[in-house]
Each structure stands twice: as structure tokens, then as C-alpha cells.
Structure 1
Amino acid sequence: MKQETGRLKEILHVLKEHKVTQGIDPVKLCGILEDLGPTYVKLGQIMSMRSDILPERYCKELARLRTDVKPMDFNTVWGILKKELHKEPNEIFQKINKEPIGCASIAQVHKAVLKDKKKVVLKIQRPNIKQIMEEDLTLLKKASGFLNFATGTGDLIDFRKVIDELWETSKEEMDFIKEAQHLERFYKNQEDVRYVTCPKVYKEYSNRHLLVMSYIDGIQIDHIKELDEEGYDRYEIGQKTAQNYCKQILSDGFFHADPHPGNLWISEGQIVWLDLGMAGNLSEHYRAIMKRAITAILKNDIYELKNAFLSFGKATQKIDHASLYTDLDDMVGKYMNMDFGTMDLGELMEDALDLLKKHKIAIDSDITLLARSMVTMEGTLKLCSPQVNMIKILTSYMSANMINEIDPKREVKHALRDIYGSSKKSLEIPAQISDLLNITKNGQVRINLESSQMDEVRRDMKKGMDHLILTLIVMALWFSSALLCLSDVTPRIDGMPYISVAGFITGLVIVIYLLIKMIIQKGRHRK
């Protein structure tokens, strides 16, 4: 309890130093997180990926948070290794470099050499980091109400929701077994792609707090001068990186969720994807929706785009369809006026997320993760090869794989299912018409429409109902006239009662009147 009180005082002191009572902005939030220490830096980095929770301007600023933190001393590192390996590290490793090659809030990385002379890297989790982070988050959650009040953000940022989301993400990232599984899955997905690889995991030495991987020496993708000196074609690197990323999303359904430059290296002609602690899964259902959405944007098909948007998530309130159509039309219009090669996928994804937030459509966290990952990917490509356009590559990849994805058996099955469904529905039409007539007769029909041309819709509905009523009158006249023909009613003409003849002629006149009216209306619509 004393420790908790002391930490709370530290948090409040930092907040006071940054004068949060005078309001908060993205830059100030970054400063607060950095002053609170490594745990909060990590949280800020994860928060930058959640533009469905935080406004976009906050996400952009948080993405700039520093990644390097004060390293653990080597004695601490040695002690952790001894504990996790259950033996002296020098029994397994011929050499361990004392200086880390990377330090982050959750772990730090050291180069090492195994007894068989294979070069490896050791990702070593900081001691008690999970407990420290949990205590910090518990305190922060208790202070969430105060933060909303003190920062003046009101409902702009739901700190409690942010903290819950971040804790779940952090727990997953602190489990190195999960990261090892991600690496193995990624390697398997890319084993047929000769120009892509990732580190190999040494499972016999790895666990939840220690990850031993093969060492890959190379050049970071944004180190342009080094790449040029080594004779690499940066445009080819950009193209192939983008193509492989599209494969991860649209074919594998498993993608690198944090493709910043530090996680992409070039080694011996291969693109190496590092650090799969954050990875996303995209189901076949969502992949199909994404393809529909991109196709709809390129075809300027607002109706299909609206259906795709609604399929991405669940509406948390009643949808204003007219407003949604207008917003989608504006968004598509914005990109249709651009040259295809200059479209910015990152900007498009941000606009789409803003639109979903505006219309209160809740989306799955993996969709948000994908959107942020795409923005990061495009930013990374611009640093390496500005000429590479993600939209172009994404649509080209979709087109190239469309034929391969066609399954004749599945298509026939779907066609037969549609035919069966249509046949079944057609058999229900007479019963549905009967029900409609009954509720119309009883005055129970009520139609709700949302349209900017409501008056025109109502006039068309009235005309349609008038035609239906006249058609029913014709049917009644002809049916009753036919029944009278079977009776002994007189006088008759050519064997038919006069009244039957009158009924048939009246019905025929009404039918001719309806046909002439329909022809005139069609002529007006064409004009």
C-alpha cells in the first residue's frame, strides 16, 4: 500500500509538472508518458496504434515516442539468463556481448554465440516488468476519472477503456512464447517466397521471458546511403516489400502489425521481418470485405462501399443512411479526382476510420490494428522508395490473384444455393401478397423511408398502390363475369349474360388504360 501511494504521488507530481489542469494536447501527452518511465513509453507506443480509441492527431504524435530506454546492467542480464536457462549461461553460449544492441521498455537484446559457433540474439525480458506494469496501470485506472476531468478532454478520451485495451495488448507482447509462435507461423507462410525471411527461433532455449533467435546481419530499410553503397535497387526493395505485405493481408490473413523501419532489414538480398511481438489476424470474412471495399472505391460504387463499411463492424446506434451515403460519396470523390498513382493509402485508411467513428460503427480491434499497420507500412516505404505506391500494388495484387481464387466447385454450389433460395422465395410470393392485402385492408401498413427525395418516393408508392387496386378490380370483374357465364342468368348474347359481357369489357378498358399510362410514364423517365 505504501509503495502504491508513493507511485501515485510520482504520477501526480509529473501531471502537475506538465500543468494538465490547463489542458492537454498530443505533444504534452508524449512528454508526460516519457517522464513517467519505460512502462508508459510502451503504452504510448501501443496507444499510437489505436486510432479507433484516440483521435488521429494523438496517434501521430505518440508514434514518435522514443524507443530506447536505459539498459539493464550486465550483472542483471546474467542473473536473468541463469534463472531462465536453469544453468550457467556460459554452458550454452560461447560468448555474450555485454553491450546491448537494442533497449526497449519490456526487453533488451544482446548478441551472442552458441557453443556450436552459431550467431544468435537474446531477447531478455526486464525483471518483474509485468508486475510493475500491472501496478502502474491499476493506479492509472484509479486516476482515470481525474484525468478526464483534469485534462479537460471530457468524452474525447476514455482513459479507462484505453487502459484496458493496452493491458491486454501488453500482456500478449510480454509472452515470448506467443512471439515465437508468430515467428514460426510467419516463416511457414513465407517459405515459398525466396526474397523474404525472418529469424529462426531456438525453442530449446526460449520461454515466456527469454527468446533466443538466429542473428541476422543486414541494413535497416531506411538506411538509404548504406543500401546504395551495397548496390541495392531501392525501388525493387520497396516493390517487393509492399507485395509481400499485401500477401500477408489478403492471402495469409496473418500480418506484421508494426512494420516500422527498425523491424525491416535487408540481408543478403532478402527482406527480413523482425520483431513479431505485435501481429494481426484477418479472417477470410474480413479479407473478402476489404477486397469489396477497395474495389468499390476504385469503381466509385457508393452502395457497395456502404455495405462493406457496415459489414466491417456493428452499429452502436441507429445509422443515418442518407448521411452515410453523403460522407462516402465525398470520400470517394476526393480520391477519384486524384491520379491513381498518387493516392495515399495511409490517408485513405485514416479517412475511413474517421468515418466509422463519426457514424458510431464499432469495429474489431484487428481491423484497427490493420489500418494503423498500413499507415506505418506506407510511411516506411516512403523512406526507402518514395516512388512505390501501396494502392497500386494492393489493387494489382488483388487482380493477379482473382483468377487463382476462383473455385469452380464453390461457385457452382453458390449458384445452386441462390437458385434454390430464389425458387423458395418465389413460392412464398402469393402468401406474402395475401398477407399484404389483409394488413392493407385493416389499415396496418406503415412504411418508413429515409431519402432526400421523400415526396417523389411517396408519389411513386401511391401510383403503384393505385395500379395494384385497379388490377385487383379487373381480376374481380373477370372472375365474377366468368362465374355468371355458368349460371342461368338472362338475357344473353352469344351464350353469355349481358352483365358478364359488360364485366369483361370494363376490365379490358381498365387494362388498356393502365398500359397507356405505363407507356407515358416510361417516356417521361427517359426524358
Structure 2
Amino acid sequence: MSNLEIEPAQKNPPTSMKTRRKRIVGLFRYLLIDILIEQAQGRILGKRFVERRSEERNRKRAQRFVATSLELGGVLIKLGQFLSTRFDLLPEVWLNELSRLQDSVLPVDFSLLKPIIEEDFGGPIESLFLEFNPVPLASASLGQVHEARLLDGTRVAVKVRRPGIEVIIEVDLEALNQVINFLQRRTDLGKLADLKGIAHEFEVTLRRELDYIKEAESARRFKTNLKKLKYVYVPEVFSQRSSNRVITTEFIDGYKITNYAAIEAAGLDRHKVARVLANCYLNQALIDGFFHADPHPGNLFVRPGPNGLQVVFIDFGMVGDITSEMRFQIRRLVFAVINRDVEAIIAVFKALGFIRREEDVDKVRLGINYFLDKFMSLNLGQIKALDRRKLFEEISYIFYNTPIYVPSDFSFMGRAFQTLLGLCTGLSPALSFTAEARPFIQRLMTEELGIPTIPPELTGLVRLLGDLPGADAVQEFFKSPTGEQLRQNALDIFTLPIKLNHSLDRLETGRLQVQIQSSEIKSSADRIQKSNERLITAILVGSFLISGVILSTAAAPVWATIFCLLVALLISLRFFRP
């Protein structure tokens, strides 16, 4: 029996691994040739001629890819799932077809999985489990999940690796590398992304996903990291029934995160679910440095919890590590994006390897300005309402004409973020990632960026005033458009020192290459810095005075106006000293 015949659910499998390799390479050859023909037709017959037929042509390509993936299984399904959220690379018709690969994998007959369980744990399945349901709960490209009960009655989910999948993966990776090598050498894609690096990252992640011992370790690490988040839960792993090919975890009763009707029927707030999910990933990326790289709907559940609701993560085969240096740069990037600091974004892009040549900076600056102007003021619902086809054309133009190089380290991180974006949009179109990220950045500014905290005397005053009558009215005011603008202006003022320091850094070490060597120049620079500090303090004092005036005309309590005046006075006493 061949290695492919052990998966009886597959229809008409190839008779040899050599044939399988040829079919995979042939699939990509067909796709590439068809795209080249379309481009040639565009040059000869005109762009309009091609555009009229583009959507149908893309649909046929995508259907061919999906059909071949479902027939062959293995790496093609994982690749399709990886690409199914890449709206920056593929048109919507492709994404719609590829989404079928999330739930359409045919199951393996349980008679082929049972020997694996019995071999790994040294006994008949009846002596290992009190109950074991042979009908799968879910079937994926690498493994299959069944419901069971341990001997003590504990309800569990048992995932078993597909038999023979290791050999299939090796053949598929060999074929995929052959395609990648061609694309890297012969097409412009190699100039836009580290294709070999991304393929290597994909291969490492895939091999790791095959090892269920590593998955168990990742699940325990996630459980430790996310224990601090009261709205997030990670199931227990049962080591006595876990091995390299089998992993047994606590069974989770809950609603699939895209089952909006069930979530609402249970009285759970979809907007809160979206906020919990977004905040959880901010924790993973900006604090823990360890993230779930496959947040598709089948791996996330929602259920009632002790604090109202819980978002439950399952399946930790695909995870990603973020080094401390990368984490620091990502924090800087989020901070810069929130404050629309284009030069700071460029500095981070350089540090992370997205910009490789100094002469490319001006083009990158234009691309960044486009995205900031286009999306920063929109929530997820407004972004979703944009003309998808026009948006794809604009993004494609920016992507292919902006010399940003995508390092392989960010391929899975980018995919996870895009999947997360789609989930949050479906849950709550009103969600704003900028608003969710701001509290994290405010907390991290002191740790990483050196922004001073509020003086203790002001903190005490805030707590005191928060208990006074009328505090709710002030909170409501700050939720209004005027109050939100006031808060944004205050944040801009508090972050002004960072922007000034960044400008001074560029003056001293940047493109102007100004070197301060003379003691007289150094003395002058010190005086300028002190003047800047006094200027910033004066702006702070003025801002609180203006806030007091605005509050006095907004039907807010009198004490709120007094509070602003007291803050202005305390800042003056604290900073304007002889």
C-alpha cells in the first residue's frame, strides 16, 4: 500500500510520491503561466480588456488551487490557509475560495488512527479511555480531533496525527522549495520579500506543528502567560495521554467565535469579545513575546465565564516567538503609528530590516503617509465598508511601488494580525485598534520610551476628585467628540518630548550628520534643551488652563474646572523653580 492510499477519504490519489511532486510543481507552473499570459494581453490589448475578465480568471485559478489542495492534502492545505487572510497579496475572489480550506478537509477513518493511540500508550484503547468517540469533532490537514473521557471520567479532546503525513510533508516541502527558488530568481517577488526565508519559516513552523510534545509545551507556556488576563482561558494538557503523535487536552464547551447568533443568544457582548481578543494579542506581542500564530475561527471559542465571558484559545501547534529587540521595536512602531510620527515609523522600519537602502526612504514615506491618511481615523466597520476592489488596487500599487522588504521573521506575525483583524471586524465593526492599543502604549512609555509618570501629588488629587459628586458627568464629557479631542491633544502634548528628542537625534546623527564637538556648542545645546523643557512645561500649563475653560462651558461640575487650575498650578510649582 502506498503512502497516499492510507488516507481513504482522498479521491483518486496519485500513485507515487514522484507523481505528487510533479502535480504540485505543475499547479504552480499553470498559475504562473496564466498570470504571465494575462500580463502580456494587458500590454497588447489594453488594461481595460484584461480588467473585464480579471475577476473570472482569478476565480478559476483559485478554484483550481483549492480543488488540487483538497485532493492532495498536506502542505497545499496549510499554504492555502496561510494565504487565505493575505488581503495585501491576493484579490477578494481568491480569499473567498481559499476560505473553504479552513473547514473542508476530509476526515481519516478512525481504524487508521486507533493503532497510533494504542502503540503510543501501550495498551488497547478500552484500557486507556473510559469512552472514545470514533466520529471526529474536527479534521485538519495534519491531524484529527476526537472527543473522549479519561478513566476518571474527565471529558477531553484527543488530537491524533494523520498516519503517513510526515512523508507527504517532506515531498510537498521539496516541491514548494523548487517553486520558491524559481520565484526568487526569476520574478520581482524576490525583491519584495525574503521568499526563501519565508519558506524556511513555514517549514520550521510546519515541522513544529507535527510534534505534539512541543505543542503541549507551548500550551503550558500560553496558560502561564495569559493567566493574568481574566477574560482569557487556555485548556489544561493531560501529559499521561500525550505523546509525539497524540495530544490530550481539556474539552471545551463554547461557541465558535464566528457564531455571532449563538454568542448573542447567550447574552455575551460581541464588542467586549472583540476587545478581549485585541487586548490579548497586544499582550502577546508587546509584553510576552510569544503569540498564537493561527487564530482562525476553529481555534477560538467564546463561553460564559466567572467574569462574564471567556475567550478560549485551542490548538497551539503554530506559535511564534518575538525577541526582546523585536518586541522593543514593535512597541516603538505602535507608539509611532498612534501618534502619526512618520519619521519614527521609518526609523523602526530601518531597524527591523523593512528598508534596506537609504535612497528608498522618500518612497516609503509616501506609502506610510497614504496608509495613515487612509485608515487611522477609521474603525474596522468603516474600513470594511470601503470599496474592496478599489482598495486592493490601491494597496497593490503601494505594495509593489514602495521599496519595503518583508523579512521572513514577520510573515507569520503579519498573517496572525490579518486574521485577528478579520475576526474583530466581524465581531464588532465599531472597534478601533488605535483606541485599544493606546492604554498599552501609555503604560509602556515609562518602561521603554522614558516618558515621565504623573507626579504623585497629581495622582492623589485625581483619586480624591474621582469620588466627588459629578465625576460621572466629567467621564461622559470625555467620551464626547470634544472630550476625545481634548484627550488626544493632551496625549500629543505629553509625547512632545519624545518627538523633540527624536528630532535632536536626527540632527546629531542623521542625514544632516551634525557633530557637536566644541564645548561652546555643547553649552548652547544645553541651553536650548532647557529652553525646550520650559516651553513644553508652558504648553502643559496652558493646556490645563484651556481645559478648565472648556469644562466650565460644558456644564461640568465646578470642581472639574478647579481641578484643571490646580494641576496647572502644581506643574508650575514643580517645574518653574529658580
The amino acid that maps onto 1:74 is: F
Partner of 2:422: 379
The amino acid that maps onto 1:429 is: Q
Measured at CA, do residues 193 and 322 of structure 1 come closer, stay the same or move farther in structure 2, by a change above 3 Å?
Answer: closer
The amino acid that maps onto 1:66 is: L
Partner of 1:288: 328
Within 2, Cα distance between the matches of 1:56 and 1:140?
22
Matches within 5 A, 1:63-462: 63-67=98-102, 68-142=104-178, 154-156=187-189, 163-269=199-305, 270-313=310-353, 315-335=355-375, 338=377, 358-403=401-446, 429=517
Within 2, Cα distance between the matches of 1:305 and 1:74?
52
CA-CA distance at 1:163 after TM superposition: 4.8
CA-CA distance at 1:91 after TM superposition: 1.4
Relative to the length of structure 2, the TM-score reads 0.62
CA-CA distance at 1:377 after TM superposition: 0.9
1:259 match: secondary structure: coil
Identity %: 27
CA-CA distance at 1:367 after TM superposition: 2.7
Within 2, Cα distance between the matches of 1:321 and 1:160?
25
Give the conservation status (yes or no) of the 8 Å contact 1:310–1:361: no
After superposition, what is the alpha-carbon deviation per residue over 1:341-380, rounded to whole angstroms, capped at 9, x for unaligned?
8775999xx9999867755444443433222212211211
CA-CA distance at 1:84 after TM superposition: 1.9
Give the conservation status (yes or no) of the 8 Å contact 2:86–2:418: no
Q: Mean alpha-carbon deviation: is it higher for 290-299 or for 70-79?
A: 290-299
Partner of 1:38: 73
CA-CA distance at 1:75 after TM superposition: 0.9
2:131 match: secondary structure: strand
Within 1, Cα distance between the matches of 2:16 and 2:35?
29
Measured at CA, do residues 359 and 210 of structure 1 come closer, stay the same or move farther in structure 2, by a change above 3 Å?
Answer: same
Give the conservation status (yes or no) of the 8 Å contact 1:30–1:61: no
CA-CA distance at 1:387 after TM superposition: 2.3
Within 2, Cα distance between the matches of 1:62 and 1:323?
34
2:517 match: secondary structure: helix
Give the conservation status (yes or no) of the 8 Å contact 1:144–1:160: yes
2:130 match: secondary structure: strand
After superposition, what is the alpha-carbon deviation per residue over 1:10-68, rounded to whole angstroms, capped at 9, x for unaligned?
4577679x78643387541452253242111122223446789x567698457524233
CA-CA distance at 1:390 after TM superposition: 2.0
Relative to the length of structure 1, the TM-score reads 0.67
Within 2, Cα distance between the matches of 1:346 and 1:367?
27
After superposition, what is the alpha-carbon deviation per residue over 1:410-468, rounded to whole angstroms, capped at 9, x for unaligned?
xxxxx9xx9xxx9xxx998369x9xxxxxxxxxxxxxxxxxxxxxxxxxxxxxxxxxxx
Within 1, Cα distance between the matches of 2:261 and 2:422?
18
Measured at CA, do residues 156 and 286 of structure 1 come closer, stay the same or move farther in structure 2, by a change above 3 Å?
Answer: closer
Within 2, Cα distance between the matches of 1:354 and 1:245?
29
Within 2, Cα distance between the matches of 1:160 and 1:283?
21
Within 2, Cα distance between the matches of 1:256 and 1:354?
31
Give the conservation status (yes or no) of the 8 Å contact 1:49–1:59: no
After superposition, what is the alpha-carbon deviation per residue over 1:196-215, rounded to whole angstroms, capped at 9, x for unaligned?
11111112221221111110
Within 2, Cα distance between the matches of 1:144 and 1:294?
32
Give the conservation status (yes or no) of the 8 Å contact 2:197–2:407: no
Give the conservation status (yes or no) of the 8 Å contact 1:341–1:392: no
Give the conservation status (yes or no) of the 8 Å contact 1:302–1:328: yes
After superposition, what is the alpha-carbon deviation per residue over 1:237-270, rounded to whole angstroms, capped at 9, x for unaligned?
2222222222222121222222222221112322
1:131 match: secondary structure: helix
The amino acid that maps onto 1:371 is: G
Q: Which runs of 5+ in 2 are unaligned?
A: 3-14, 37-56, 387-391, 453-500, 509-513, 522-578
CA-CA distance at 1:76 after TM superposition: 0.7
Measured at CA, do residues 211 and 403 of structure 1 come closer, stay the same or move farther in structure 2, by a change above 3 Å?
Answer: same
After superposition, what is the alpha-carbon deviation per residue over 1:50-98, rounded to whole angstroms, capped at 9, x for unaligned?
789x567698457524233221111111111112222222212011101
2:317 match: secondary structure: coil
1:429 match: secondary structure: coil
Measured at CA, do residues 59 and 374 of structure 1 come closer, stay the same or move farther in structure 2, by a change above 3 Å?
Answer: farther
Give the conservation status (yes or no) of the 8 Å contact 1:97–1:112: yes
Matches within 5 A, 1:22-61: 22-23=34-35, 27=59, 28-29=61-62, 31-36=64-69, 37-39=72-74, 40-48=76-84, 60=95
Within 2, Cα distance between the matches of 1:163 and 1:380?
26
Give the conservation status (yes or no) of the 8 Å contact 1:197–1:273: yes
Partner of 2:19: 6
The amino acid that maps onto 1:22 is: D
Within 2, Cα distance between the matches of 1:377 and 1:346?
18
RMSD in angstroms over aligned alpha carbons? 4.2
Within 1, Cα distance between the matches of 2:299 and 2:189?
32
Within 1, Cα distance between the matches of 2:344 and 2:367?
14
Give the conservation status (yes or no) of the 8 Å contact 1:201–1:213: yes
Within 2, Cα distance between the matches of 1:273 and 1:357?
35
Larger-gyration structure (1/2): 1
Give the conservation status (yes or no) of the 8 Å contact 1:101–1:109: yes
The amino acid that maps onto 1:34 is: A
2:244 match: secondary structure: coil
Measured at CA, do residues 202 and 268 of structure 1 come closer, stay the same or move farther in structure 2, by a change above 3 Å?
Answer: same
Within 2, Cα distance between the matches of 1:87 and 1:282?
41
2:348 match: secondary structure: helix
Measured at CA, do residues 13 and 89 of structure 1 come closer, stay the same or move farther in structure 2, by a change above 3 Å?
Answer: same
Measured at CA, do residues 112 and 240 of structure 1 come closer, stay the same or move farther in structure 2, by a change above 3 Å?
Answer: same
Give the conservation status (yes or no) of the 8 Å contact 1:187–1:197: yes
